[in-house]
Structure 1
Amino acid sequence: MLTDSIATLAGVGEKRALALNSLGIATINDLLFYFPFRYTDLKVKPLEEVADQEQVTLKGTVVTPAVLTRFGPHKSRLNFKLQVEHAVVAVTFFNQPWLKEKFEMGVEAAIFGKWDGMRHSLTGMKLLATQNQEEPGLAAVYPVNKSIRQQTLIALIKQAYEADGDQIVDVIPEAIRTHYRLLSDQQLVAWMHFPETDAQAKAARRTAIFREFFLFQVQLQSLKTQTDAPQNGLMIPYDNQALRQLIATLPFDLTNAQKRVVNEICADMRSPEHMNRLLQGDVGSGKTIVAAIVMYAAITARYQAALMVPTEVLAEQHFAKLSQLFADFPVRVALLTGSTTGKKRRDILADLASGEIDLIIGTHALIQDAVNYNSLGLVIIDEQHRFGVNQRRILQEKGLKPDLLSMTATPIPRTLAITTYGEMDVSTIDELPAGRQPITTTWIRKNQMDLALQRINEQLAQGSQVFAITPLIAESEKIDLQNAEQLYQDLQQALGDKANVALLHGQMKPDEKDTIMRAFSDNIYQVLVSTTVVEVGVDVPNATVMLIMDADRFGLSQLHQLRGRVGRGKKAAYCILVANPKNDTGIERMQIMTETNDGFVLAQKDLELRGSGEIFGDRQSGMPNFKIGDPVGDFTILEVAQQEAKQIFTTDADLSAPEHAGLAHYLSQNRERQGSLD
């Protein structure tokens, strides 16, 4: 059976089973759907068409006895000569002594190996066929490790396919397969592993890419269907008139994009279905005011709202801003962080539990066991990629199945929105408030640092502040610290008594970092040198210069995030990239940073230049590790797969229709497997 352990196959003992497990292969089904990443062309080539050092298949007749020479227990050399067309070729096999008996005089053989044109010889890698056997046209090449050899894996796949290939059931509904000319799963497995022609291999790969994307999207849609179910939701009948009164007190007009996303979020909140929405907007696009409006909406319906942020400094800034915003409204705002202790903490916890507090702002402290809510209806998570799935879930479970709004200032290309956030609805603020000045970005080489110092001196003379960043390389904090300390000393020396310079690095304790950030926010320090990425969202309106050393070591999205730390006040702001890029990609990244301030353009370009896994960093993004498809290169297929998965769950959410039986079985098996992994 397909669900049987691979240990049921002949030749798979405990050790080999563990080796296969390390490749993600635990069952017969896993083995059959463990696909090759490329193919080697094994078709026989005429000798005159073979290039020097090419890997090629030659076919001929053995014309000398095979001579085996041993050099030790596991080292040997096998030599003989093969007549190929009108030429005689010397053939050598290393460490395959068992082949000697295959090469008797007069035997016809097809051998795959590496051709040496100068010596007119072939170093054999593989015997493909002997007398009257049909040699294959293409050979699959699989991702393996030191514990499993290619030939072992291929032999096991053949064994499994011959025994259980007829049990493979289609998971993609027939109507979709017909519409997009996709193979059945049985045909897919056969042609992926054993293609006879290039056309078969291409057709199989096309189907495999769609299948991988489609099944991933089906899992996301299934999760979304469960989360959005009315029994998991909360209807928040907010007071629309009260919202209008709040908006009327703002000292600026909302942008059209802000109005649109407020309407989208409020419609979700009023609906009985659970809200799981992502609000994305470029740096400075005004996400915080949107969050304030929708939190007030929940409060007008007698629910509590919670805003969770990654750092204490950011929590304090939000608390100060929101306390001021709600000063004339019946909203009690409180701040809860790790620094909140003693009687103050006890009072806040008591007032949260009794419902006296309407809006709580804090860090991870909001999800501690001792924190209980009276009627938590809306949870907002700022810089959501900084929090794990479990942390978000714990905060949600604190309330009455509250609605969830996640916010990010990292613009997300559609590729990532479809994969990483496919189970969420996405709202986008795609315009900046009127009057916000674009940040002037320049790129200089390291030998032009005097230009950077000129700009820094000019801005300090006007009473402004400066960020100076050196890159963080996880493998070598010691080098990073040296780099930062060197920059710190250089700037101290260059600026003299014109500025107080502070140093912030990854080896400091969190409270030390907070103290320095607060002092910088209060203009006690005018220049902040940092090895770590300055906390996203930290607001220092007086900072007008962002100096980034070795800027080519950062991705475009990271550079854009850093650039967004300045220009948050009314003054003109500048970003100076210092880099000597080593290649064309590095040069292109620096140039595009100087050409656009649009985070969405940069995020898409970053995806194209660096690949999906590095946009947020693998650990943060949750970007799935697709084995066959490339979300960037195969984006059209990804988009179609998502549309088809959505359509199925729109019309048949519980997959009860006969044509969805294969899908229902797949999801059931997948849940069982996930359960056993947990």
Structure 2
Amino acid sequence: MDKTIFQSVRFLPGVGPKRMEPLHDLGIDTIYDLLTHFPFRYEDLQVRDVSTIMDQEKVTLAGIIVTEPVVHYYGFKKNRISCRMAIGEQVIQVSFFNQPYLKNKLIQHQECIIFGKWDAKRSTLMGMKIISTKEDMEETSNFEAVYRTNKSIRQSTLLKLIQTALPLYKENIPNPLPSSIQKKRQLLSHPEAVEGMHFPKDERHSKQSRQQLVYQELFCYQLKLQSLKKKRHHSQKGQSILYENAALKVFIQTLPFTLTEGQKKVVNEICYDLRAPYEMSRLLQGDVGSGKTVVATIAMVATALTGKQACLMVPTELLADQHYETICALTKETEIKVGKLTGTTTLKERRQLLEQLEKGELQLLVGTHALFQEDVIYHDLAFIVIDEQHRFGVKQRVQLAQKGMGVNVLQMTATPIPRTLAITTFGEMDTSILKEAPKGRQPIKTFWVKEQELEKVYDYIEKQVQSGRQAYVISPLIEESENLDVQNATEIYEMISKRFENRLSVGLLHGRLKSDEKESVMNAFQKNEVQVLVSTTVIEVGVDVPNATVMVILDADRFGLAQLHQLRGRVGRGEHASTCILIASPKTEQGKQRMQIMCESTDGFYLSQKDLELRGSGDVFGLRQSGIPEFKVADIVQDYDILEQAREDAITFVIEEEDSVTYKEIQEFIEQTSRETEEVLNG
């Protein structure tokens, strides 16, 4: 591979020291960066008929200038050129703002071709640029690229640099895809696609170019993931947890319920990994209430039975408390010692707990971010479980895994991940899925009502409480500010307390309460001493009160589908029929659509796919937190079919061609070009 394409952009004519910094700000450091700084859209320069265009549409119109152009000056450096242009029998107004130098190009009685935005109400073309003659049009494509720029680099400058670089370096652009795959998928070569993205001959050429770039980007990424997976499976560095099968079966028989078929299958998958010589790297996806905690507990007990240690990391103290109590209850008939470590653990308790942990007297530890702090030393950590994994950054997960040697890692999520995201973000991991709900769970009915019907909803809550049930009322998200969310929840709590005064007890839960205050409120709710719990989204995961059957979510249109599904999952956890009521008056079509979808389905996997389609991957999970790469061209929702093809080809290629010259050349290309992926995969 000719590496001159990866040399600094400063070697290109027209790039001096002053241009280097603004180019760097655009992510352009090398010649290859410049040539792969692709347009984010195209302007259609084909001349249109006035009768076919819509208001505010960008179009190219051709006509005769019938009046002398006049420049009007107003304010500092502000001006407008005005003239009239005849298109057939119709005469329209043409205006250009702050481009007085164009006056000389608008010549009365001569033909002119102008690109601009059409204002139908005023019959005016708000001109953006002049395409002088029909000959100019014939010499160029009907599509003109529009690039992402900054204050120091204009469109024209960027275009000029690309026009300079392409003929000089086109032959040096690598063509990393194997010829067999290029032929199989009927793709252009990489150099052809790069040129076609900047200067497409027509729409078909533009689509073909994009298809090659999308496929190549996804194939290279998937190849990296599949290589990592293969290396891990052939590595002997992991801790093999050789537990006694009979002893684990005895523990499972002590559980107060029978495992579902889905739970049995997933337990077997995880335990197979525990016994293997390689490090486990598994993702457990389980829909709300599918019983992931029990599965994780069985695997942690298997680890503890060998004398090794396991820990469970969760994102909130509330969840840590709940998991700690659940695991203590499930292991009460064993000699396994369970501990809990959070930010509010007292110094005395912490000192004692860390001492037991280092000596190996404590086998299972549940906690928050506190689990990977510097002074936390494990005697023999062999297995970690990370619950609600998308709440933790990549580096935080790595820090915890580094607390032991060859540690086995199980990441869990109650936010079902669409296949699109799963194979992009977690392609190097093994995956287990729990869809089946434990027996006895009642389906949840979901209703969407407008804000003006709120009184009827409160009447419904009161009737449910009178029949012995309990309810949640969720305060809406104001913005990314916990203080404002707390303030909002407090106001709702005061209003509801007044509404139900002397008839039922109302509690308040939010992230700013002290740990013992949260515990007190939750204990009161679990004992039915509090019938209505007003809360922020702090109860989104993990909280389990089987008697609560009503979930009211205020301003529900502020939440995404995945989060609404999580909140809804706090009810329907017992034998009683449950209801989720979404209070919302959405202003947008997308908002209305989200409410309708929530009422139609309780399948978390279907909802997460819809959420992805409506909002995009960054909004669903948060790009930084989840480790979803930002591709230059590919869109993992729009390009799902290509993603599947690229993954299938990458899996086959890793198996069949790993020792080939082509494979090594592709790896070299990936090393040269992947920055974002390197950061994502290595934390």
Structure 2: distance between partners of 1:675 and 1:274: 20
The letter for the 1-side match of 2:553 is I
Q: Does 1:548 align with 2:550?
A: no
The letter for the 2-side match of 1:213 is L
Structure 2: distance between partners of 1:168 and 1:161: 9
* Residue of structure 1 in register with 2:263 after alignment: 258
Matches within 5 A, 1:354-503: 354-475=359-480, 480-481=485-486, 483-503=488-508
Q: Does 1:318 align with 2:323?
A: yes
Structure 2: distance between partners of 1:52 and 1:371: 64
Name the SS of the counterpart of 1:331 in structure 2. Answer: coil
Shift of 1:88: 9.4
Match of 1:30 among 13, 30, 33: 33
Given that residues 451 and 584 in structure 2 are in contact (C-alpha distance below 8 angstroms), is that contact kept between their aligned partners in structure 1? yes
With over 3 angstroms needed to count, the CA separation of the structure-2 counterparts of 1:26 and 1:508, relative to structure 1, is farther
Match of 2:670 among 651, 667, 673: 667
Given that residues 313 and 518 in structure 1 are in contact (C-alpha distance below 8 angstroms), is that contact kept between their aligned partners in structure 2? no
Match of 1:272 among 274, 277, 290: 277
Shift of 1:503: 2.5
Structure 1: distance between partners of 2:420 and 2:524: 40
Shift of 1:123: 5.5
With over 3 angstroms needed to count, the CA separation of the structure-2 counterparts of 1:10 and 1:337, relative to structure 1, is same
Given that residues 61 and 115 in structure 2 are in contact (C-alpha distance below 8 angstroms), is that contact kept between their aligned partners in structure 1? yes
Shift of 1:537: 0.5
Shift of 1:108: 7.8
Matches within 5 A, 1:159-170: 159-170=164-175
Q: Does 1:635 align with 2:657?
A: no
Given that residues 476 and 555 in structure 2 are in contact (C-alpha distance below 8 angstroms), is that contact kept between their aligned partners in structure 1? yes
Structure 2: distance between partners of 1:438 and 1:268: 34
Structure 1: distance between partners of 2:530 and 2:568: 19
With over 3 angstroms needed to count, the CA separation of the structure-2 counterparts of 1:345 and 1:64, relative to structure 1, is closer
* Residue of structure 1 in register with 2:563 after alignment: 558
The letter for the 2-side match of 1:126 is K
Match of 1:622 among 604, 627, 631: 627
With over 3 angstroms needed to count, the CA separation of the structure-2 counterparts of 1:267 and 1:74, relative to structure 1, is same
With over 3 angstroms needed to count, the CA separation of the structure-2 counterparts of 1:229 and 1:98, relative to structure 1, is farther
The letter for the 2-side match of 1:632 is V
Matches within 5 A, 1:30-109: 30-45=33-48, 55-57=58-60, 74=77, 94-96=97-99
The letter for the 2-side match of 1:610 is R
Name the SS of the counterpart of 1:155 in structure 2. Answer: helix
Structure 2: distance between partners of 1:576 and 1:123: 48
Match of 1:6 among 9, 18, 22: 9
Structure 1: distance between partners of 2:449 and 2:126: 52
Identity in percent: 49
Structure 2: distance between partners of 1:418 and 1:524: 46
Shift of 1:267: 1.6
With over 3 angstroms needed to count, the CA separation of the structure-2 counterparts of 1:106 and 1:499, relative to structure 1, is closer
Shift of 1:407: 0.9
Shift of 1:222: 4.0
With over 3 angstroms needed to count, the CA separation of the structure-2 counterparts of 1:114 and 1:556, relative to structure 1, is closer
Given that residues 141 and 202 in structure 2 are in contact (C-alpha distance below 8 angstroms), is that contact kept between their aligned partners in structure 1? no
* Residue of structure 1 in register with 2:584 after alignment: 579
Q: Which moved more, 1:333-342 or 1:124-133?
A: 124-133
Q: Which moved more, 1:131-140 or 1:233-242?
A: 131-140
Q: What TM-score do you get using the length of structure 2 for normalisation?
A: 0.88
Matches within 5 A, 1:148-159: 148-159=153-164
The letter for the 2-side match of 1:274 is E
Shift of 1:139: 0.7
* Residue of structure 1 in register with 2:541 after alignment: 536
Name the SS of the counterpart of 2:355 in structure 1. Answer: helix
Name the SS of the counterpart of 1:496 in structure 2. Answer: coil
Name the SS of the counterpart of 1:272 in structure 2. Answer: coil
- Aligned residue pairs: how many? 676
Name the SS of the counterpart of 2:171 in structure 1. Answer: helix
Structure 2: distance between partners of 1:108 and 1:351: 88
* Residue of structure 1 in register with 2:22 after alignment: 19
Given that residues 394 and 626 in structure 2 are in contact (C-alpha distance below 8 angstroms), is that contact kept between their aligned partners in structure 1? no
Shift of 1:131: 8.8
Structure 2: distance between partners of 1:135 and 1:669: 33
Given that residues 465 and 531 in structure 2 are in contact (C-alpha distance below 8 angstroms), is that contact kept between their aligned partners in structure 1? yes
Shift of 1:194: 0.5
With over 3 angstroms needed to count, the CA separation of the structure-2 counterparts of 1:483 and 1:360, relative to structure 1, is closer
Structure 2: distance between partners of 1:608 and 1:273: 36
Q: Which moved more, 1:632-641 or 1:75-84?
A: 75-84
With over 3 angstroms needed to count, the CA separation of the structure-2 counterparts of 1:286 and 1:532, relative to structure 1, is closer
Q: Which moved more, 1:519-528 or 1:325-334?
A: 519-528
With over 3 angstroms needed to count, the CA separation of the structure-2 counterparts of 1:217 and 1:78, relative to structure 1, is same
Given that residues 172 and 662 in structure 1 are in contact (C-alpha distance below 8 angstroms), is that contact kept between their aligned partners in structure 2? no
Structure 2: distance between partners of 1:593 and 1:64: 59
* Residue of structure 2 in register with 1:217 after alignment: 222
Q: What TM-score do you get using the length of structure 1 for normalisation?
A: 0.89
Structure 1: distance between partners of 2:522 and 2:15: 58
Given that residues 107 and 131 in structure 1 are in contact (C-alpha distance below 8 angstroms), is that contact kept between their aligned partners in structure 2? no
With over 3 angstroms needed to count, the CA separation of the structure-2 counterparts of 1:539 and 1:69, relative to structure 1, is closer
Match of 2:339 among 334, 339, 356: 334
Tell me the alpha carbon deviations over residues 209-248 of structure 1, each in whole angstroms, 9 at most, x when there is no partner: 2223223323333444455451442222222222222222
Name the SS of the counterpart of 1:529 in structure 2. Answer: strand
Name the SS of the counterpart of 2:182 in structure 1. Answer: helix
Tell me the alpha carbon deviations over residues 77-131 of structure 1, each in whole angstroms, 9 at most, x when there is no partner: 6688989889999876554455567778999865434568999986543344559
Tell me the alpha carbon deviations over residues 460-516 of structure 1, each in whole angstroms, 9 at most, x when there is no partner: 234433211111132566764554233212211121123332223455556654554
Q: Does 1:345 align with 2:319?
A: no
